[in-house]
Amino acid sequence: MNFNINKKFFLDEEDLSVFDGPRLLFKVSELKDGFFVYNKSGEGIAQIVFQKKYAFITLRSDDKPTLPVRIIKKGSHFDIEFYDFSLQGNNFHKAKLNPYNTIEIAGSPKKYNYKISDNNEEIVTVTPGNDQVYNVDISSSVNNLKMLLSVITIEKMLFDL
């Protein structure tokens, strides 16, 4: 799936609208310490929270949070880790899905020119596009929302840190 994302969209007054062709998939609204992601009906489908050099992405599935992602900024390098949270009573139990962190980022996120791979399989390609937008191409083998929000999060972290 291919997306065009406005560069530094978080500086705009309007929410970011993400389309698949003519169809609106979701919008991203900036909050004090993150982003709120909602569908065309206004229902929250994800949230991104920034904490110093970390960002956490949580997606909603069946009215509960799931598939969290942690992104860590280390200088000009980023690590992406995927987690599985399951609700046990009123407490969340965290289990790391990728204990060996098979996610790799190669290229220059600052120049909108990089690739994200999992176990040597290229799953995301980001290219500069033009002055206004950058292009994100996501493999059909992964969760498009999770990976697109990871790309958006990396851009915001580059700008803020």
> pLDDT tens across 63-76, in order?
665 657 889 898 87
Residue 100 pLDDT exceeds 50? no
Domain layout of the chain by residue ranges: 2-160
Predicted TM-score (pTM) of the model is: 0.85
pLDDT at 99: 46
Contact 101, 95 (CB under 8 A): no
SS3 content of the chain, % helix, strand, coil (to 5): 15, 60, 25
Q: What is the dihedral of CA 160, 58, 81, 118, to 10 degrees?
A: -110
Provide the pLDDT confidence category of residue 118 given band limits of 50, 70 and 90.
confident
pLDDT per residue over 126-156, tens digit each? 999 999 999 999 999 888 898 999 999 999 9
- How much is the mean pLDDT over the chain? 85
2-160, what's its fold? Porin (2.40.160)
Contact yes or no for 115/124 (Cβ under 8 A) = yes
